[in-house]
Chain A
Amino acid sequence: MKRFLPIAFVLVLVTLPLWMRDPYYLHMLVTTGIFTIAAMSLNLLLGYNGQLSLGHVAFFGIGAYTSALVSLGFDVDIFDYTIVHDPWPPVLGFFIAILVTGVCGYLIGKLSFKVRGAYFVIVTISFAEVVRLVALNWMDLTQGPLALTNIPPIVLGAKSIGYVSILGKVPSYYLVLGVAALAFLLISRIVHSRYGRAMIALKENESLALACGIDVTKYLVFGAVVSAAMAGAAGSLYAHYIRIVDPEIFMFMNTVTMVIMVITGGKGTLYGPIVGGLIFGILPVGLRVVAGPEVQWIIYGALMIAILLVLPEGIVPAIQRRFGLSAGNESKERPPADKSLVRGEQAL
């Protein structure tokens, strides 16, 4: 049963476009998928590293803008120099976005060592707001409120095989699915590796981890870099799918959306962000018929509070407890106890 569920889920996802023809639902799934990738990246930082970063949307937006600008080309005047960039293939934009956001993640990671807890939260929010204001005002580069429009879609392929333009709902769906699967696998590998254990130890008890010789900074920074790069990838996908990017992408509300996805799904679990992402990606479509946007957000806010009060660990851990499953709960697992040590203590 345990093995069957994920496989069935994957099968459903892969064959979806064959039996779901309504382009609007496909559209919803594509955007949900993109936000789920971002949520997974936030989960790495929040659930495994224990850092509540409320500026995560900054990475998403920087990735979107970077990718868009690389593929659109730009010319800016900085002091007296004019930098002109000709349009490059969007695929390059995707990878450059990952690179740029990774670097930003590095900076944030280093910063988080100096500043903790509530202050870290405020700094991350401020960072996102500063980036938004820069995007809004540096019109030379970003077009500000006029938005970057007509962003080209991603084109995959090589000269020998031929090119496929990822334009339209179905190709975009598969691209997003592919990237999401890669992201999931990546996080899964990290969490189960040495890095993952160090990050979890760090989250559980930092002083103890330090005492054990774990280089706290290195793992904080590592988590931040991967998390940021993944969010940047999601942002790039967003830019080339929606094909219009404006400074509102940096709105605090988008961070809140990602946070709600992670928290309700279950932070620190592998499937949490996916469950959260699906709920909050699909819920709006259903609710749209009965409730206006304000009422929808009131429901989300209430839902988040309810989950935090009643099921603080999220939906996935609750389900797992119910059904006696334990896969995906790595951050809660205790490392196997060293029996000899225990006996020694008891002897005392």
Chain B
Amino acid sequence: MEELSQHIANAIILGSSYAILGIGLTLIFGIMRVVNFTHGELYALGGYAAYMVSTVLGLNFFLGLPVSILVGALVGAAIEFILLRRIRTSDMDTGMLVMIGAGIIILNSIQLIWGGVAKSVNTPFSDVPVVVGPVSVSSLRLFVLVAALVLIAATYFLINRTKLGKAMRATFQDPDVASLMGVNIGVIYTATFAIGSALAAAAGALLGPVFLVTPSMGNMAALKAFAIVILGGLGSIPGATIGGFILAFSEEMGAGYISSGYRDAMGFLIIIMVLLIKPTGLFARSERVG
């Protein structure tokens, strides 16, 4: 029983970060219909940004999060502006492949700059865990949980209560009508990609210090993000949020009770099952799959 509550606690914390990752991708995937293969690399960039701020430059650890959000937004906007605009009219395959190419460039640039050795991010938190009954959680992880929830709330606010958010939702529903109503689709796309990428970077800056920062940390993250998006339904923020927690739960329970080796497989199994049984996901707005 105590093992179970520990797993649940771990899952909640992990899930909150996964949720951010998933929300970022669902925005991009939902509004722009682009299979964003750079999402994982932005996650890694966020991790390295936190590393640079905290370990290399020795600045305040808490500065790492806003810095990585900024980095993510800028890089995301750049990718959208330089690459995606040009292929907006091409078929989906071309878009995906261009994204893969961009992802490869970012990944290898990271490895070129920082090398292949795993990096540790300095945190001001003590290693003594916070113990509540049978559950033991490090202070760092508590911070991650709180920060992630704040970001989720902020994103929800942005999408549902601001003008920009309204324009994004309109574009999601029907880009042509939205543009007829005066929405500058180009700006919306850039903003969407920037916001989505910033969220990915934030997730990386949060989870990077919990584990280690490596150039390939984005690979798994990208695939898990896809799992979350598919589970929650395209373009649905509540869906991505809940999807993130569901994924974290299945990983923790799977790793704890079935086999730790298949931990990462949970996400993929979810993808395959969902697409076979209910392709639109749990919370999808009405739309055709594919």
Chain A residues with CB under 8 Å of chain B are 46, 52, 111, 114-123, 125-127, 129-130, 133-134, 136-137, 252, 256, 259, 263, 292-295, 297-298, 300-302, 304-305, 308-309, 312
Chain B residues with CB under 8 Å of chain A are 29, 33, 35, 83, 86-87, 90, 92-94, 96-98, 100-105, 107-109, 111-112, 219, 223, 226-227, 230, 259, 261-262, 264-265, 267-269, 271-272, 275-276, 279, 289-290
A-B contact pairs, 6 of them (CB 8 A): A126-B267, A129-B265, A259-B100, A298-B105, A304-B100, A308-B94
Closest beta carbon of chain A to B229's beta carbon, Å: 9
Closest beta carbon of chain B to A263's beta carbon, Å: 6
Chain A residue nearest in CB terms to B99: A305
Closest beta carbon of chain B to A273's beta carbon, Å: 15
Interface of B is mostly: helix
A118 in complex: contacting residue of B92, B107, B261, B269, CB < 8 Å: B92
- The answer on a CB contact under 8 Å between A52 and B93 is yes
- The answer on a CB contact under 8 Å between B97 and A304 is yes
A137 in complex: contacting residue of B100, B103, B262, B290, CB < 8 Å: B262
Question: Hey, which chain A residues are within 8 Å of B276, CB to CB?
Answer: 111, 114-115
Question: Hey, which chain B residues are within 8 Å of A259, CB to CB?
Answer: 97, 100
14 further interface pairs, Cβ-Cβ under 8 Å (given A119-B279, A126-B226):
A115-B276, A116-B290, A121-B35, A122-B271, A123-B275, A127-B268, A252-B219, A293-B108, A298-B108, A302-B101, A308-B98, A309-B87, A312-B90, A312-B94
Chain B residue nearest in CB terms to A292: B112
CA distance A46 to B271 in the complex (A): 22
Question: Hey, which chain A residues are within 8 Å of B109, CB to CB?
Answer: 294, 298
- The answer on a CB contact under 8 Å between B86 and A122 is no
CA distance A305 to B106 in the complex (A): 13
- The answer on a CB contact under 8 Å between A133 and B261 is yes
- The answer on a CB contact under 8 Å between A133 and B265 is yes
- The answer on a CB contact under 8 Å between A119 and B223 is no
CA distance A217 to B271 in the complex (A): 22
Check A133/B264 contact, CB under 8 A, given A127-B272, A297-B104, A298-B108: yes
Check A52/B223 contact, CB under 8 A, given A114-B276, A301-B105, A304-B101: no
